[in-house]
Amino acid sequence: YLRTGAIARFSPIMKSVAKFAADGGLVIGTCNGFQILCEAHLLPGALTRNHSLSFVCDRVWLRVENAATRFTRATKQGDLLRLPIKHGEGLYVAPEDELRQMEERGQVILRYVDAEGRESDAANPNGSMRAIAGVANERFNVFGLMPHPEHAVEPMLGGEDGLKIFQSIAGSAR
């Protein structure tokens, strides 16, 4: 059994992605892309099977933990976003000491919460450590998240909250 990221991280394109990131370029990976960025060591931690061992397809609430990044500048600290998730391997894990350092540096960008912005086991759809839904590297130019902002960019798709991520990126390019 091989995970997508375990194979994709060896793809020739990943050398170019790593160089682009090393040169300061913005890299975003959603869902399997997040897995690949972790497997390629462009982001800390790893993604494993959901705690339920089931595929989860739902809309979740996320709290913006760091609004000062080029991926979140169109949001405010504590803003709530509602985005879809669709994954079987979305449980984010990292060693406790690494998680503590990531929290201190502000690398935890998004966290699973309920509609009131509170963390709870029920609001964490995959069992991720510390309810982590998205993280950045230490330079804040690589961002990975399990939810799909690209599937929440217009009302007909169930919401526009994903636009805030893309507006942030577009604003950073100016």
* Residues carrying an active site annotation: 31, 148, 150
Nearest to 134 by CA among 146, 149, 118: 146
Which amino acid is present at 157? L
Q: Determine how β-strand 27-30 pairs with β-strand 91-93.
A: unpaired
Calculate the alpha carbon distances from 30 to 43, 115, 121, 134, 174 in Å.
12, 22, 22, 9, 23
Q: Residues with Cβ < 8 Å from 22, sequence gap 6 or more?
A: none
For residue 56, give the 3-state DSSP assignment: strand
